């Protein structure tokens, strides 16, 4: 056998091995989606901040509905695409000034919904659900520090490592400069990123009732940061459903969290025309007269403004 | 007959193999004939190793042939051939390579012929010779000394092998755990496999370059004496003493001032470090011509800062990427107070949180004795010791739950205390005795090697301190990232590994006419004692420093609990030492082969080797687990594989095509049997479900403290149920005794077990190579070499308790597995949609085999050896390698969880191997010139151009719900309609359209992804950019001759990554910016919750029908991720130039 022939055979065998070896990995064929998903939820925005400029609501960073000035609300819910059905927090909620900046503590930053104290989680929305979103608080609300007193606006609490004790403000002042240097400011450590201060969000997840003919569903929502506990009446009828203390100061709500989500029920009354009166300790602080509540409709009476400034204002939302 | 044989060789592809001889010595053979070509029997042939005076003598047999087995590597040798009535012939300057059989034939003239004594020079081309059959590379002491290697690491030499991969110490696309490293014939591999090499965990090389005479890398040895690898066999032999005292003392150093300050045009300061490497070697006679010694002692010390990233004290001094410090929060103030608190309350000093260093230290010494007992018996004794340690940052792993976000090592966010850093110690002790004997007047020879290697690996706290009994605590900062960690690393307490390898090899050679027959045995006894009690002191995580204080100190007015707590407790009587994986195994090997030289110009070798792994230790059985039927499979916890002989036939050839050694065809085929990294077997010894119990919780299921449950911070470790061990052995699991647990009264879940399949076999491959070597003009030798390897028994891991997929993932098409299984704190049942087949146990990994997998490579190489002082080589290799699952990892669980896949972890696709480097160019050269009688300059150069490292594009998360995050290959969408995207967080200001646009742009700019739109990404199919690496060395000698002996002062400069010195954008190593490209957030419609039955169990659930939702995250600064790769800025990656200077005295 000629050696050239052998070499040729060898190269042929090598080529055969090469050819049979060189192939792409065998992966399954995907079955991708052929159309986009079609989930949506409904949002209605209320600018309940006493001093914020006109605000625009953004859901997943797309403007939702019309601009809303302080003390006003959008007239209807806007259906907005969302990308999960109440499974996890992935609906991004923020508000921006309609022009310029929000100002105050936020400055040029947006108002952002944050679900938790130490995180930047989004809001968890469900398909076809209704959400009423309030921008509350003043633009100059200070960035909160952790506090242990009931007023929600206390001082920073310090921890003294050498003694293993927490110190009050008075106790802290009595320490030497050297001892003060070792103190750990308890309240400031876990906070800061979640709530920058200024205007913040209150989101109500709505279960909107369907009143019978001749009836309406109503409730009252307290959105004034300094007005204490309030009562509301519609004509002679006391409003018993809703939120009657400023919801951002509820004992169960950590005041340091930048945003809050909760619910509030409705009560059923007869349809008709009512004067809405809001009282504090029996004294009228705000009213809205001659409001016609149409049968089979659902309403929220809400109060905004600052008591000490005399700017309380009662408004009404027609949910449906 | 010859034609038939040749036909068979070619027709069956049964080609190959260089008869690499013994791996510690070289050999010589040949035939002596008269002027007429008639064989001359009885001719005296004497080969003398000139430096040591070692004499090898024999007489030719009846057929005129002679053999010298087991000769010293190196030279020069002088060979004298004499016979009464004939002129003596002398051959000088013969140098023998490791494993080489030097072929030397002689034609003697009778004395009546008027010729003077014939003296010829004995050179033999390293490639064009009859010994070479398989693919192998040999590196001499000259090359070892002059090839650039800033780490003075033998791996830099072995990397010159054309088929080497880009990753460290891998060859031909196979995992580096499948190599075998021997020194003087003794196994010094880290056979346990936590790292391919001893000392690897402490960044130490196992031996000094100054101690090494030669290194051989064999990829396809068809010599059946070689075994225990399916990657490459790397053999090193140490230097020997000679009749002349020779030696050297040396010192090398480098620091941060001798490294590049810029990476890709951007200033990137090098943290200060200090590296020193110094030592000496000496060799000489104890008894002239009889007994010689060689000794080497070497130190290597390095100091690096652990603290390189300050956490900014305030915004004004902000450092990019740091968000931990705010106007209100200065972490350093808090940490100073924390240290005071820990000392005052617990008498525990966590150490410092900044300005401390990492120590790297190792000492290596070698002592070798060579004893020429007599002309027929040579004895070699060699001992070497390596003691190495290196401090390490705390592990980022959480153990059985997720680690803290942001890790534990120092970053701009994290300031961990020094007590959490640990030291890993790798100590190695090895002794070898080798006896080479010539018997029967040269008709037989015997080689006997006995070796003992001992490895002692253990951990301490950094600085060599004892590991205290104290939990580890992670405390998060305001940005949700870990801010600090204190307490000992959770994987350090009781962590030790003792390995012993006893080796006994013998082979007996019989020299017959045209045949050299070898029979022998190779046996290794392994003993292991591995203690690993991870997380035994518990790991706490707090969301804030305040939460920790509130939990740790009852005096505070607030209360808090950890955000996460995990611990593993010893469930076996006897404490941590009783959990040791203490076991022994034996691998017996027997072989026989014949080297046939009866064909003209053709040498053939054929043989067979049988390896028999035996397991010598009875293991405790988990009869409870073993009684469970998993869809027809019965687990075998505590069971070893059946004993099976593994047969490795091999055949090789070398054909001098034209009879003038200008064209050489060589090759072979055969089976190679390797070891499995024994840690994978040891996992089955220790992870038997008997030794440990676990507590893991991230919620607050227990409002009160019960059962000693240390949910509130405690420095004492949790004490588990003492009956758990015996109960499981008896076949009855422990019951949940906490009345607050909803599964109260049910059996406690056995978290995970590892087992070995009954039919499991050690790795075997069938390897074939064929090569053509051609003498080219100008003395250049060209080689074209093809190697094909097919896996016969590849290692494959599967989870026997993973239920079949339940549905198909909507909008994707891949299988969707069941919902998360029950845990101790939620309802648990065997339900229709459970991920587990049996809900009472967790993952049940089975070490098994598959025959899927192959590797092949083709190499073109040009070499020229001008003389011993001037050699050059250049080679290009294309490689392809496929595997079913990664063959690299220190635990079975780690390998299993890193099996990137589409169909599920038990159905992994055959895809590209992790060790694959498809394209690689390697060139090197050394040149030495002496001048002006007192000067010599040596240049060394290596260039490596290669494909970057491969990687897989994965989802961050677990969209296929198989229970493992980060192992699902992505689907690459063609359009927005094919993927559901969401914002990443509340602060994400992008619209969903913008997120898609950014993802789409990223895919478009990535060559691999763009080519795979509409398909799944493949495992290890994407590559980092091409790597160019040029290393240079310069040795400047000044020498004088004193009484005939040369004394040299040598200054050296070693420049690593020289291209980067010229331009900071050259020579870069680039890494994937984000290989877990797309983050999985959840499903549009989740797994439906089941209904709770009367017995408290969930009776049914429904698999999700919703599409998965993802996000494509922006960079930390909010800019879009729009580049696939970023340059590696670390020094260790080699992406910057570094210079090392040295001084050496040689005599």
- pLDDT, tens digit (0-9, with 9 covering 90-100), for B42-66: 888 888 888 888 888 888 888 888 8
Which residue of B543, B549, B909 is in closest CB contact with A159?
B549
Residues of B in contact with A10 (CB under 8 A): 10, 15, 665, 770, 772
Rg (CA), chain B: 32
Per-position DSSP letters for B181-235, written without gaps between them: EEETTEE-S-TT-SSSSTTGGGT--SS-GGGEEEEEEESSB--TT--B-SS-EEE
Please, which pLDDT band fits residue B210 given cuts at 50, 70 and 90? Answer: very high
Please, which pLDDT band fits residue B562 given cuts at 50, 70 and 90? Answer: confident
Judge whether A109 is closer than 8 Å to chain B, CB to CB. no
Judge whether B788 is closer than 8 Å to chain A, CB to CB. yes
> Which single residue is written with the structure tokens 């069971």?
B639
**Minimal-distance CA residue of chain A relative to B1017:** A27
pLDDT tens column, B758-812: 999 999 999 999 999 999 998 899 999 999 999 999 999 999 999 888 888 989 9
- How far B477 CA lies from chain A's nearest CA (Å)? 7
- SS3 state at B1128: coil
- SS3 state at B1075: coil
Least confident of B101-105, B858-862, B941-945: B101-105
pLDDT of residue B15: 30
Q: What is the mean pLDDT of residues B953-965?
A: 92
On whether the CB atoms of residues B32 and B60 are closer than 8 A, the answer is yes
pLDDT tens column, A128-149: 999 999 999 888 876 654 433 3
Please, which pLDDT band fits residue B93 given cuts at 50, 70 and 90? Answer: confident
pLDDT tens column, B852-905: 999 999 999 999 988 777 889 999 999 999 999 888 887 888 889 889 999 999
Least confident of A132-141, B61-70, B304-313, B1017-1026: B304-313
**Which of B986, B989, B1011, B1021 should be substituted to probe chain A, the one whose Cβ sees the most A Cβ atoms within 10 Å?**
B986
On whether the CB atoms of residues B368 and B293 are closer than 8 A, the answer is yes
Angle between the B545-552 and B331-346 helix axes, to the nearest 10 degrees? 10
Q: What is the mean pLDDT of residues A120-133?
A: 89
Residues of A in contact with B1082 (CB under 8 A): 84, 87-88, 90
Whole-number mean pLDDT of chain B? 85
Q: What is the mean pLDDT of residues B633-654?
A: 94
- SS3 state at B1124: coil
User: Taking Cα atoms as reference points, which of B398, B807, B729, B704 lies closest to residue B571?
Assistant: B729
Contact B333 A27 (CB under 8 A): no
On whether the CB atoms of residues B718 and B695 are closer than 8 A, the answer is yes
Per-position DSSP letters for B382-415, written without gaps between them: EEEEEEEEEEEPPP---SSSPPPTT-SS--SS--
Contact B813 A32 (CB under 8 A): yes
- How far B678 CA lies from chain A's nearest CA (Å)? 30
- How far A61 CA lies from chain B's nearest CA (Å)? 5
**Minimal-distance CA residue of chain A relative to B790:** A21
Query: Which whole-number Å values give the CA distances from B879 to A88, B89, B786, B1109, in the listed order?
Result: 46, 47, 10, 38
pLDDT of residue B649: 96
Q: What is the mean pLDDT of residues B1069-1078?
A: 95
Which residue of B910, B983, B1082 is in closest CB contact with A60?
B983
Q: How far apart are CA B18 and CA B217, in angstroms?
A: 12
Judge whether B807 is closer than 8 Å to chain A, CB to CB. no
Residues of B in contact with A165 (CB under 8 A): 555-556
pLDDT of residue B179: 93
On whether the CB atoms of residues B153 and B196 are closer than 8 A, the answer is no
B 1063-1122 residues with CB below 8 A of A? 1081-1086, 1106-1107, 1109, 1111
- A199: pLDDT strictly greater than 80: yes
Please, which pLDDT band fits residue B322 given cuts at 50, 70 and 90? Answer: very low
Least confident of B285-299, B534-548, B989-1003: B534-548
pLDDT tens column, B891-905: 888 889 889 999 999
Q: What is the mean pLDDT of residues B935-949?
A: 96
Least confident of A28-32, B73-77, B594-598, B741-745: B741-745
Residues of A in contact with B1018 (CB under 8 A): 24-25, 27
pLDDT tens column, B357-401: 999 999 999 999 999 998 889 999 999 999 999 999 999 887 777
Number of Cβ within a 10 Å radius of residue B108: 21
| Cis amide leading into B826 (omega within 30) | no
Residues of B in contact with A92 (CB under 8 A): 983, 985-986, 988
pLDDT tens column, B728-742: 666 666 666 655 454
Q: What is the mean pLDDT of residues A51-73?
A: 96
pLDDT of residue B105: 86
pLDDT tens column, B808-827: 898 999 998 887 654 333 44
On whether the CB atoms of residues B811 and B980 are closer than 8 A, the answer is yes
Which residue of B545, B812, B856 is in closest CB contact with A21?
B856
**Minimal-distance CA residue of chain A relative to B8:** A6
pLDDT tens column, A146-159: 433 332 223 344 55
> Which single residue is written with the structure tokens 């739950």?
B401
- SS3 state at A8: helix
- Is 0.85 exceeded by the ipTM? no
Element (H, E) at B606: strand B602-615
pLDDT tens column, B603-616: 999 999 999 999 99
Sort strands B180-183 and B233-238 into parallel, antiparallel or unpaired: parallel
pLDDT of residue A232: 95
Share of chain B above pLDDT 90, in %: 53
Residue ranges of E strands in B837-869: 841-850, 854-867
Residue, of A260 and A4, whose pLDDT is higher: A260
Contact A90 B340 (CB under 8 A): no
Residue, of B699 and A264, whose pLDDT is higher: A264
Judge whether A108 is closer than 8 Å to chain B, CB to CB. no
Sequence-distant (≥ 6) Cβ neighbours of residue B975 within 8 angstroms: none
Share of chain B above pLDDT 70, in %: 87
Judge whether A22 is closer than 8 Å to chain B, CB to CB. yes
Contact A1 B6 (CB under 8 A): yes
User: Taking Cα atoms as reference points, which of B466, B500, B432, B523 lies closest to residue B198?
Assistant: B500
- SS3 state at A199: coil
Judge whether A251 is closer than 8 Å to chain B, CB to CB. no
- SS3 state at B466: coil
pLDDT tens column, A223-240: 998 888 899 999 999 999
Judge whether B474 is closer than 8 Å to chain A, CB to CB. no
**Which of B172, B546, B998, B1081 should be substituted to probe chain A, the one whose Cβ sees the most A Cβ atoms within 10 Å?**
B546
Residue, of B779 and B97, whose pLDDT is higher: B779
Least confident of A250-254, B526-530, B809-813, B932-936: A250-254
Judge whether B10 is closer than 8 Å to chain A, CB to CB. yes
Structure tokens at B1039: 């020498």
Q: How far apart are CA A253 and CA A265, in angstroms?
A: 18
- How far A163 CA lies from chain B's nearest CA (Å)? 8
pLDDT of residue B733: 66
- B199: pLDDT strictly greater than 90: no
Q: How far apart are CA B290 and CA B241, in angstroms?
A: 11
Distance of CA B42 to the CA centre of its chain: 51
Residue, of A16 and B75, whose pLDDT is higher: B75
Please, which pLDDT band fits residue B502 given cuts at 50, 70 and 90? Answer: very high
Length of chain B: 1147
The Cβ-side half-sphere exposure at B758, using a 13 Å CA radius, reads: 4
Residues of B in contact with A148 (CB under 8 A): 557-558
Per-position DSSP letters for B9-47, written without gaps between them: HHHTT--B-B----SS-EEEEEEEEETTS-B-TT-EEEE
Contact A25 B1018 (CB under 8 A): yes
pLDDT of residue A47: 97
A 178-237 residues with CB below 8 A of B? 181-193
Contact B985 A83 (CB under 8 A): no
On whether the CB atoms of residues B272 and B332 are closer than 8 A, the answer is no
- How far A292 CA lies from chain B's nearest CA (Å)? 39
Structure tokens at B1079: 């983050």
- A100: pLDDT strictly greater than 90: yes
Torsion on CA atoms B1089, B1094, B1096, B1102, rounded to nearest 10: -20
Q: How far apart are CA B866 and CA B125, in angstroms?
A: 11
pLDDT of residue B922: 97
pLDDT of residue A121: 77
User: Taking Cα atoms as reference points, which of B365, B46, B421 lies closest to residue B211?
Assistant: B365
Sort strands B692-697 and B564-570 into parallel, antiparallel or unpaired: antiparallel
Which residue of B545, B880, B978 is in closest CB contact with A21?
B880
User: Taking Cα atoms as reference points, which of A261, A255, A280, A266 lies closest to residue A210?
Assistant: A266
pLDDT of residue A189: 31
Please, which pLDDT band fits residue B1093 given cuts at 50, 70 and 90? Answer: very low
Q: What is the mean pLDDT of residues B985-1008?
A: 95
Q: How far apart are CA B118 and CA B108, in angstroms?
A: 9
- SS3 state at B896: helix
pLDDT of residue B828: 44
Which residue of A29, A115, A186 is in closest CB contact with B546?
A186
What letter would DSSP give residue A247? G
**Which of A161, A171, A185, A200 should be substituted to probe chain B, the one whose Cβ sees the most B Cβ atoms within 10 Å?**
A161
Least confident of B428-442, B538-552, B669-683, B866-880: B538-552
User: Taking Cα atoms as reference points, which of B325, B296, B295 lies closest to residue B313?
Assistant: B325
- B652: pLDDT strictly greater than 80: yes
pLDDT of residue A37: 77
pLDDT tens column, B400-423: 777 898 899 888 778 899 999 999
Query: Which whole-number Å values give the CA distances from B558 to A157, A169, B1055, in the listed order?
Result: 11, 16, 60
User: Taking Cα atoms as reference points, which of A246, A259, A304 lies closest to residue A49?
Assistant: A304
pLDDT of residue B855: 96
What letter would DSSP give residue B353? S
On whether the CB atoms of residues B1141 and B1023 are closer than 8 A, the answer is no
On whether the CB atoms of residues B987 and B1002 are closer than 8 A, the answer is no
pLDDT of residue B657: 92
Please, which pLDDT band fits residue B314 given cuts at 50, 70 and 90? Answer: very low
- B320: pLDDT strictly greater than 50: no
pLDDT tens column, B137-180: 888 888 898 999 998 999 899 999 999 998 778 999 999 999 99
Q: How far apart are CA B883 and CA B888, in angstroms?
A: 11
Please, which pLDDT band fits residue B1101 given cuts at 50, 70 and 90? Answer: low
Q: What is the mean pLDDT of residues B557-567?
A: 72
Q: What is the mean pLDDT of residues B316-324?
A: 39
User: Taking Cα atoms as reference points, which of B1023, B1073, B803 lies closest to residue B918?
Assistant: B1023
User: Taking Cα atoms as reference points, which of B815, B817, B822 lies closest to residue B802?
Assistant: B817
Contact B337 A84 (CB under 8 A): no
Residues of A in contact with B978 (CB under 8 A): 32-33
**Minimal-distance CA residue of chain A relative to B341:** A161
> Which single residue is written with the structure tokens 């498809």?
B918
Is the Cα dihedral B746, B749, B753, B759 positive or negative?
A: positive
Q: How far apart are CA B451 and CA B457, in angstroms?
A: 20
């Amino acid at each position: 056998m000629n050696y050239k022939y052998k070499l040729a055979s060898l190269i042929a065998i090598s080529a055969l091995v090469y050819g049979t070896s060189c192939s792409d990995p065998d992966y399954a064929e995907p079955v991708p989606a052929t159309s986009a998903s079609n989930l949506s939820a409904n949002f209605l925005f209320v600018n309940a901040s006493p001093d914020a400029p006109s605000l625009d609501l953004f859901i997943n960073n797309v403007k939702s509905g019309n601009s809303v000035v302080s003390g006003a609300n959008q007239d209807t819910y806007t259906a907005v695409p969302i990308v999960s059905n109440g499974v996890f927090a992935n609906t991004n909620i923020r508000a921006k000034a309609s022009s310029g900046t929000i100002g105050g503590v936020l400055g040029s930053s947006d108002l952002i919904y944050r679900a938790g104290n130490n995180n930047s989680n989004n809001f968890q929305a469900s398909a076809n659900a209704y959400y009423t979103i309030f921008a509350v608080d003043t633009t100059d609300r200070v960035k909160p520090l952790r506090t242990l007193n009931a007023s929600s606006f206390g001082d920073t609490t310090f921890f003294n490592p050498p003694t293993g004790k927490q110190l009050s403000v008075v106790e802290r002042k009595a320490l030497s400069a050297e001892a003060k240097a070792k103190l750990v400011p308890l309240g400031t450590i876990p906070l800061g990123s979640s709530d920058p201060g200024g205007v913040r969000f209150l989101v109500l997840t709505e279960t909107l009732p369907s009143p019978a003919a001749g009836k309406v569903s109503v409730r009252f929502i307290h959105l004034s940061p300094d007005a204490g506990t309030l009562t509301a009446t519609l004509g002679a009828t006391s409003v018993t459903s809703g939120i009657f203390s400023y919801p951002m100061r509820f004992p169960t709500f950590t005041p340091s969290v930048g945003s809050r989500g909760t619910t509030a029920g409705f009560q059923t009354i007869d349809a008709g025309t009512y004067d809405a009166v809001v009282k504090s300790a029996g004294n009228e602080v705000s009213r809205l007269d001659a409001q016609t509540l149409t049968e089979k409709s659902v309403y929220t009476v809400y109060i905004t403004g600052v008591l000490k400034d005399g700017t309380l204002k009662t408004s009404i939302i027609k949910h449906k | 007959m010859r034609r038939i044989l040749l036909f068979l060789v070619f027709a069956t592809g049964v080609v190959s193999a260089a008869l690499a001889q013994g791996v510690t010595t070289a050999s010589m053979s040949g035939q002596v004939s008269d002027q007429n070509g008639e064989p001359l029997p009885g001719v005296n042939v004497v080969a003398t190793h000139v430096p040591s005076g070692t004499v090898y003598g024999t007489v030719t047999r009846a057929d005129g042939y002679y053999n010298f087995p087991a000769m010293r590597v190196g030279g020069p040798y002088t060979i004298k051939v004499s016979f009464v009535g004939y002129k003596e012939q002398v051959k000088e300057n013969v140098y023998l390579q490791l494993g080489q059989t030097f072929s030397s034939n002689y034609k003697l003239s009778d004395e009546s012929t008027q010729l003077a004594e014939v003296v010829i020079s004995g050179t033999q081309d390293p490639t064009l010779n009859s010994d070479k059959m398989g693919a192998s590379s040999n590196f001499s002491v000259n090359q070892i000394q002059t090839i650039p290697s800033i780490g003075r690491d033998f791996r830099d030499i072995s990397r010159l092998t054309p088929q080497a991969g880009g990753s460290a110490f891998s060859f031909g696309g196979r995992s580096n755990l499948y190599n075998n490293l021997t020194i003087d014939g003794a196994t010094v591999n880290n056979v346990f496999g936590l790292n391919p090499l001893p000392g690897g965990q402490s960044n130490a090389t196992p031996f000094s370059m100054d101690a090494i005479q030669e290194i051989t890398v064999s990829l396809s040895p068809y010599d059946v004496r070689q075994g225990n690898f399916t990657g490459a066999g790397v053999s090193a032999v140490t230097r020997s003493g000679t009749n002349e005292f020779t030696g050297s003392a040396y010192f090398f150093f480098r620091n941060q001032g001798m490294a590049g300050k810029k990476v890709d045009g951007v200033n990137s300061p090098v943290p200060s470090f200090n590296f020193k490497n110094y030592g000496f070697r000496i060799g000489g006679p104890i008894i002239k011509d009889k007994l010689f010694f060689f000794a080497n002692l070497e130190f290597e010390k390095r100091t690096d800062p652990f603290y390189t990233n300050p956490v900014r004290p305030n915004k004004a001094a902000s450092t990019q990427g740091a968000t931990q410090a705010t106007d209100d929060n200065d972490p350093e103030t808090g940490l100073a107070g924390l240290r005071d608190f820990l000392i005052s309350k617990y008498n525990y000093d966590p150490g410092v949180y900044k300005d401390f260093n990492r120590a790297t230290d190792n000492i290596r010494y070698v002592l070798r004795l060579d004893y020429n007992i007599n002309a027929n018996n040579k004895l070699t004794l060699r001992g070497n010791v390596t003691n190495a340690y290196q401090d390490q940052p705390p592990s980022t792993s959480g153990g059985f739950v997720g680690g803290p976000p942001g890790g534990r090592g120092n970053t701009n966010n994290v300031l961990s205390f020094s007590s959490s850093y640990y030291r890993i110690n790798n100590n190695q002790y090895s002794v070898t005795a080798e006896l080479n004997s010539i018997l029967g007047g040269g008709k037989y020879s015997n080689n006997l090697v006995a070796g003992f290697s001992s490895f002692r690996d253990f951990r301490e706290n950094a600085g060599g301190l004892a590991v205290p009994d104290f939990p580890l605590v992670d405390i998060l900062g305001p940005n949700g990232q870990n801010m600090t960690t204190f307490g000992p690393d959770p994987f350090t307490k009781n962590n030790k590994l003792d390995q012993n390898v006893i080796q006994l090899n013998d082979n007996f050679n019989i020299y017959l006419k045209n045949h050299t027959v070898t029979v022998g045995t190779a046996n290794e006894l392994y003993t292991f004692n591995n203690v690993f009690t991870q997380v035994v002191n518990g790991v706490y995580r707090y969301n804030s420093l305040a939460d920790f204080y509130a939990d740790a100190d009852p005096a505070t007015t607030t209360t808090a609990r950890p955000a996460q707590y995990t611990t593993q407790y010893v469930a076996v009587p006897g404490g941590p030492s009783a959990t040791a994986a203490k076991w022994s195994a034996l691998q017996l090997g027997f072989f026989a082969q014949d080297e046939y030289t009866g064909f003209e110009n053709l040498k053939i070798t054929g043989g067979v080797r049988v390896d028999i792994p035996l397991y010598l230790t009875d293991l405790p059985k988990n009869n409870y687990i073993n009684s469970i039927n998993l869809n027809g499979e019965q687990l075998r916890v505590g069971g070893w594989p059946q004993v099976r002989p593994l047969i490795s036939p091999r055949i090789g050839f070398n054909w001098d095509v034209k009879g003038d050694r200008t064209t050489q065809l060589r090759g072979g085929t055969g089976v190679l049997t390797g070891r499995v990294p024994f840690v994978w077997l040891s996992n089955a010894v220790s992870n038997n479900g008997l030794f440990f119990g676990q507590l893991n919780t991230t919620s607050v299921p227990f409002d009160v403290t019960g059962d000693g449950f240390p949910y509130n911070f405690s420095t004492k470790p949790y004490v588990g149920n003492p009956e758990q061990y015996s109960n499981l052995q008896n076949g009855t699991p422990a019951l949940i005794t906490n009345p607050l647990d909803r599964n109260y009264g049910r059996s406690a879940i056995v978290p995970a077990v590892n087992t070995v399949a009954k039919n499991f076999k050690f790795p075997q491959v069938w390897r074939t190579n064929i090569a053509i070597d051609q003498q080219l003009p100008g003395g250049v030798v060209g080689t074209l070499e093809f190697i094909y390897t097919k896996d016969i028994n590849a290692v494959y891991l599967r989870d026997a308790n993973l239920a079949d997929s339940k549905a198909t993932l909507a909008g994707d098409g891949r299988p969707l597995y069941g919902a998360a299984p029950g845990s101790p704190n939620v309802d648990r049942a065997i339900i229709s949609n459970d991920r587990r087949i049996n809900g009472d146990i967790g993952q049940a990994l089975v070490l098994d085999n598959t025959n899927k997998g192959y590797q092949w490579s083709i190499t073109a190489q040009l070499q020229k050896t001008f003389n011993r002082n001037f050699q050059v080589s250049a080679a290009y290799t294309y490689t392809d390698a496929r595997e079913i699952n990664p063959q690299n990892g220190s635990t079975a669980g780690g390998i299993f969880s890193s099996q990137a896949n589409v169909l599920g972890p038990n159905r992994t696709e055959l895809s590209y191997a992790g060790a694959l480097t498809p394209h690689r160019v390697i060139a090197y050269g050394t040149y030495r010139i002496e001048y002006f009688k007192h000067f010599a300059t040596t240049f060394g150069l290596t260039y490596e151009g290669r494909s970057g490292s491969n990687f897989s594009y994965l989802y961050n998360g677990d969209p296929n719900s198989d229970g493992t995050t980060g192992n699902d290959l992505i689907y690459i969408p063609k359009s927005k309609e094919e993927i559901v995207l969401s914002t990443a967080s509340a602060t994400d200001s992008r619209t969903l359209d913008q997120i898609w646009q950014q993802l789409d742009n990223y895919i478009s700019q990535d060559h691999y992804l763009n080519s795979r739109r509409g398909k799944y990404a493949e495992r290890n199919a994407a590559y980092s950019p091409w790597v160019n690496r040029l290393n240079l060395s310069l040795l400047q000698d000044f020498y004088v001759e004193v009484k005939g002996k040369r004394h040299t002062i040598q200054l050296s400069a070693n420049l690593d990554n020289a291209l980067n010195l010229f331009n900071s954008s050259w020579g870069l190593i680039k890494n994937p910016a984000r290989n877990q490209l797309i983050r999985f957030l959840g499903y549009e419609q989740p797994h439906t919750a089941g209904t709770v039955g009367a017995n408290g169990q969930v009776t049914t659930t429904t698999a999700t029908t919703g599409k998965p939702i993802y996000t494509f995250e922006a960079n930390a600064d909010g800019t879009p991720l729009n580049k696939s790769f970023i340059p590696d800025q670390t020094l260790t990656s080699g992406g910057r130039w570094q210079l090392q200077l040295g001084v050496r005295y040689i005599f």
